[in-house]
Structure 1
């Protein structure tokens, strides 16, 4: 149980958990991960038979990470120490864990939410929206993404290398477990109004944004790739019609001004797709997101040389079109460009130039990620040098 000034409810939670262990005959312990309490929570926990560990770094995720690191059991069940969860009835969690589950999430909406236990905007807006996005982005079966009562295999979760320190830790656990193809299940649980007289640590909009930000950052496909593909598709479809001349639909005529918008869609879309590739390469290389065979093959094909070749071809075509446009402008004594044919050529030229330049810079940025993150001196790996240094040592 993570704990920050929970003197009002901590004893009740510990006693319920102890009663569950006694009733089921499970060999276990109650561990309190204290996050700097100043209300005597540590003494209360010790007096009621719990073991207290201290989390030096502040934050919900930091406290849980510290507790998981110090836990001794094969299975861990975590839950808030505010007496909102029923620690006396954890049978479904234990049964699922013993049946092979790696992560068992509680579902408060399936088990029952007592009146006043959850603010209306959490129950009908925040939790459903974030849970829906989590299922959409990561194809997880979990329908209550932010239930604080959950059980898991200690070793399986420690191997996920969880990093966040705040409330988004709850989302990170589910996301990484799903991406790592762990056995993730859900069981019904209940939620009642907490027993604290003070306001909760949770801040709705701040912590809701942190959860949403985490979901987006861990899904380059939805943050960058899909919007980028949509923008490129719109730009190419619209641009391919307008490059031949104006298009009239009803009483509205679309001409070069709309072609400029289409060109901007292509430019922004290509940059967004490049961000998706760079983000995926960075996240996979440094362990934020598990590797994917499909993405790895794509990234192996997208070498710097291939990207530069495509970029150079685009820029050369753009330069050629610009030269033609300048020639047409010169024939008009560099006066106003009233010819829409010339304007179309200039728009296409600028689109090709900017897109090529973007690809070239993105290629170099992506390649920088492949630079080894450690330094290795040649002398450290030279067997001749090692033998020479070894021979200079005095005989023992």
Structure 2
């Protein structure tokens, strides 16, 4: 099912200049919260904070997941506001800390030193043009040793799966460099506690029609003294499963349709085996025949349910777009009355 509600744009870089139209307004550094979730990042967090201070961003919030090294002390010494999350996991940290953010824009990144603070303006520029969510594409300018071959293969597989399942091309849905408006974040229904938060953010942007821009960023290798908490095989499998399970409410035709096709196919295989036994040996197998019929019937029902669910989701999105348009028209009308 194609994404019909959101505006998605990939912004290319020519030299160091982004091909963008004129901004609608300027975003000042005071309007931006730099949000950095951390866990055992003492080796890099100081340089990350200093990098943003050098570019004029002083509202830096570090939300820590219970580091046992000097992450919190270093962050405090470098002038960041440090919060300790009440739960565990990156997703829970982001949801918790955003309840206290009182500025309209958030720039979020990992504290491992792989993302460049110099890309901050590039990330925020689409928000000034009216976009609500920005994803930094790491593959646009990645160091040769920044990502192992297995990780690179897994990332590309996950991005292709996202395009196929959810109908949008975000280039790099696992990127940890994000910029978004706090208003758009409040519209998303996020449940992920762990590292699948980026995946859920991407799916929710499609689901809720959040205008999303993709911009090229630089991506560096982790310093040798900084260790990753991710495991390519197990974590990659978890992300793929999350993509599939999230299709339940975003693309129900794919979710229930795939289950239906699997049911029909498995029932057909069992039926073929029963038929082969009858032809080969002249003996039937009533129990397997019943199992085959039940599997095919269940598959057909799931397909029908998927079609009906897809119709409901489409109608819901259409009604949401109409309500949003009515709200915008009402605000413009009220603004015009005040000016008069």
TM-based fold match above 0.5:
yes
Compared CA separation, residues 271 and 235, structure 1 to 2 (3 A):
closer
Q: How far is 1:58 from its partner?
A: 1.0
Q: How far is 1:10 from its partner?
A: 0.4
SS of residue matched to 1:188: strand
Q: In the alignment, is residue 129 of structure 1 matched against residue 157 of structure 2?
A: yes
1:381 alignment partner in structure 2: none
Distance in 2 (alpha carbons) for counterparts of 1:273 and 1:7: 55
Aligned pair partner of 1:20 in 55, 76, 81 = 55
* Bigger fraction of residues in strand: 2
2:63 alignment partner in structure 1: 33
Distance in 2 (alpha carbons) for counterparts of 1:295 and 1:271: 27
Normalised to the residue count of structure 2, the TM-score between the two structures is 0.70
Normalised to the residue count of structure 1, the TM-score between the two structures is 0.61
Aligned pair partner of 2:257 in 220, 225, 232 = 225
Contact 1:5-1:39 within 8 A present in 2 as well = yes
Higher relative contact order (CA 8 A, sep 6+): 2
Q: How far is 1:195 from its partner?
A: 2.1
Aligned pair partner of 1:94 in 86, 110, 124 = 124
Distance in 2 (alpha carbons) for counterparts of 1:55 and 1:43: 15
2:217 alignment partner in structure 1: 189
Contact 1:231-1:265 within 8 A present in 2 as well = no
Q: What are the superposed Cα offsets for residues 138-180 of structure 1, whole Å, 9 maximum, x if unpaired? A: 1112121101111111121122121110111110000011111
Contact 2:63-2:82 within 8 A present in 1 as well = yes
1:139 alignment partner in structure 2: 167
Distance in 2 (alpha carbons) for counterparts of 1:278 and 1:101: 35
Contact 1:77-1:151 within 8 A present in 2 as well = yes
Aligned pair partner of 2:295 in 262, 268, 278 = 268
Stretches of structure 1 that go unaligned for 5 or more consecutive residues are 23-27, 247-251, 297-396
Q: What are the superposed Cα offsets for residues 179-232 of structure 1, whole Å, 9 maximum, x if unpaired? A: 111112211111111125143111222221221111111123334323414654
Distance in 2 (alpha carbons) for counterparts of 1:48 and 1:90: 19
Stretches of structure 2 that go unaligned for 5 or more consecutive residues are 1-35, 318-340
Paired residue total: 277
| 1:331-370 equivalent positions in 2, closer than 5 A | none
Distance in 1 (alpha carbons) for counterparts of 2:302 and 2:63: 39
Distance in 2 (alpha carbons) for counterparts of 1:31 and 1:167: 19
Contact 1:102-1:156 within 8 A present in 2 as well = yes
| 1:240-279 equivalent positions in 2, closer than 5 A | 264=291, 266-272=293-299, 274=301
2:199 alignment partner in structure 1: 171
| 1:54-69 equivalent positions in 2, closer than 5 A | 54-69=84-99
Distance in 2 (alpha carbons) for counterparts of 1:212 and 1:80: 21
Distance in 1 (alpha carbons) for counterparts of 2:42 and 2:247: 39
* Bigger fraction of residues in helix: 1
1:115 alignment partner in structure 2: 144
Contact 1:32-1:51 within 8 A present in 2 as well = yes
Contact 2:260-2:302 within 8 A present in 1 as well = no
Contact 1:242-1:255 within 8 A present in 2 as well = no
Q: How far is 1:294 from its partner?
A: 5.1
Contact 1:19-1:88 within 8 A present in 2 as well = no
Contact 1:31-1:52 within 8 A present in 2 as well = yes
Q: What are the superposed Cα offsets for residues 7-43 of structure 1, whole Å, 9 maximum, x if unpaired? A: 1100100011122235xxxxx6111011112222222
Q: What are the superposed Cα offsets for residues 74-93 of structure 1, whole Å, 9 maximum, x if unpaired? A: 11111110100001222221
Alpha-carbon RMSD across the aligned residues, in angstroms, is 3.7
SS of residue matched to 1:176: helix
